Structure 1
Amino acid sequence: MSKKTEARLLTHAASQFFRHGYSNLSVDDLVQGIGMSKATLYRYFDSKYDLLEIVIENLFQAIEADINELLASKQGPEEKLRTFLILMVERLEGIERSAIEDIKHSVPVLYEKFQTLRKHVIINHLVKVLDDGAEQGYFRRNMDQGVVAHIIFAAIESLTETEYLAESRYRFSDIFDMVLTIVMYGNVVNTTER
């Protein structure tokens, strides 16, 4: 079996699942867009369900790889935090909310897996970024950075809901900057304390 063919199937399937959802796609739809047969897809994956599960796992493995590279970089704490959040936006912005809603209703187990991985990967790594900044004296050592990570995550989560964005004059990037600014200035050590 060719790794190249498998990778091509996964890339195409990810774009389709995250654009259209699960119930709106047949296996015929999935293979038609890349000129392969259903038999080829079934050589690599047991089912459409199996394919979506692997797509979700691969998404978060790629995000973790990006974050690990960032954590190893020489960027300063504030820049690392900003880059971290930009990475999350870039990796997740191509996912249509309607597709996730469809996955939620069609395959709730995989929806839960998506949500669990998203929260786990983002919050755990965000805590690492914040803890690293606290060790360097940039963020307050007397604050639980896990709580700060949850505040950032929850604020961005709630302020980027479709309903809020539809009524707001702000774009996602504006909200992202405001959340980061509010959290950072409440979390940054005064220059006299460094």
Structure 2
Amino acid sequence: MREKILEKSKELFLNLGFKSVTMDEIASALGVSKKTIYKYFKNKTELIAAVTDFIFSSISTGIDMICELKKDPIEEIFDIKRFVMYHLKDEKSSPQYQLQKYYPKIYASLSKKQFDVMRGCVIKNLNHGVEEGLYRKNIDVEFISRIYFNGMVSIKNKDLFPLDHYSMNTLMNYYLEYHLRGICTEKGVSKLEKQLEEKL
């Protein structure tokens, strides 16, 4: 039952936002009483903490599996983006923004974990790209891994990028192209352009 509660809550939170969804709505969507949910989670904050951990774990596992395939680094970045977008349902409600505003402690803990995982993944991707001659040899891998994370967080700020102007999918595509054009060699740029053509 705990898993079912997490799955349904995840779906509702990602579609409607962490603040917007009530415990009554979760219970109703599951066809159970609120009492059943409270058997597993003592309040909404505890449920949100568990759901964000649940989402984080499943996305991290999926990203690890993509990285293990040892694909071309540019293809890998786009595969990870597609995988994350599929799991976050295009973030229509800007859930990260609501989490930051209404549940700052949960947001801070999640951000730290995201940074650690993303930094490791980006560093591997950058080193692999340099070895393959797709990224420039003189890039500062540590600096780029940090700036990449910062940019990914910033595009989710709906004050900077209102969702009625840009979908999250569009923003991520723009950001990946911006990131890759800054570090690619000529060989890398031609691979990037192939990826962008395939997307269209």
Q: Which runs of 5+ in 2 are unaligned?
A: 188-200
CA-CA distance at 1:64 after TM superposition: 0.8
- The answer to whether the aligner puts 1:6 opposite 2:2 as a matched pair is yes
- The answer to whether the aligner puts 1:126 opposite 2:126 as a matched pair is no
CA-CA distance at 1:171 after TM superposition: 4.9
- The answer to whether the aligner puts 1:58 opposite 2:58 as a matched pair is no
2:102 to 80, 103, 106: 106
CA contact (8 A) 2:97 2:157 kept: no
CA contact (8 A) 1:159 1:165 kept: yes
- The answer to whether the aligner puts 1:94 opposite 2:91 as a matched pair is yes
- The answer to whether the aligner puts 1:28 opposite 2:34 as a matched pair is no
Partner of 2:147: 151
CA-CA distance at 1:96 after TM superposition: 1.7
CA distance in 2 between partners of 1:21 and 1:171 (Å): 16
Question: What TM-score does the superposition give when structure 1 sets the normalisation length?
Answer: 0.76
- The answer to whether the aligner puts 1:15 opposite 2:15 as a matched pair is no
Q: Structure 2 vs 1, CA of residues 95 and 50 (structure 1 numbering), >3 Å: closer, same or farther?
A: farther
CA distance in 2 between partners of 1:189 and 1:174 (Å): 24
- The answer to whether the aligner puts 1:47 opposite 2:63 as a matched pair is no
Aligned length: 186
Question: What TM-score does the superposition give when structure 2 sets the normalisation length?
Answer: 0.74
CA distance in 2 between partners of 1:168 and 1:21 (Å): 16
CA distance in 1 between partners of 2:54 and 2:29 (Å): 20
CA distance in 2 between partners of 1:84 and 1:24 (Å): 28
User: Which 4+ residue blocks in structure 1 deviate beyond 6 angstroms?
Assistant: none
Q: Structure 2 vs 1, CA of residues 184 and 94 (structure 1 numbering), >3 Å: closer, same or farther?
A: closer
CA contact (8 A) 1:60 1:121 kept: no
Identity %: 20
Q: Which runs of 5+ in 1 are unaligned?
A: none
Partner of 1:115: 111
Q: Structure 2 vs 1, CA of residues 94 and 134 (structure 1 numbering), >3 Å: closer, same or farther?
A: same
CA distance in 2 between partners of 1:177 and 1:24 (Å): 28
RMSD: 2.9
CA contact (8 A) 1:31 1:38 kept: yes
Larger Rg: 1
CA distance in 2 between partners of 1:169 and 1:101 (Å): 16
CA distance in 2 between partners of 1:177 and 1:19 (Å): 21
Moved more, 99-108 or 161-170: 161-170
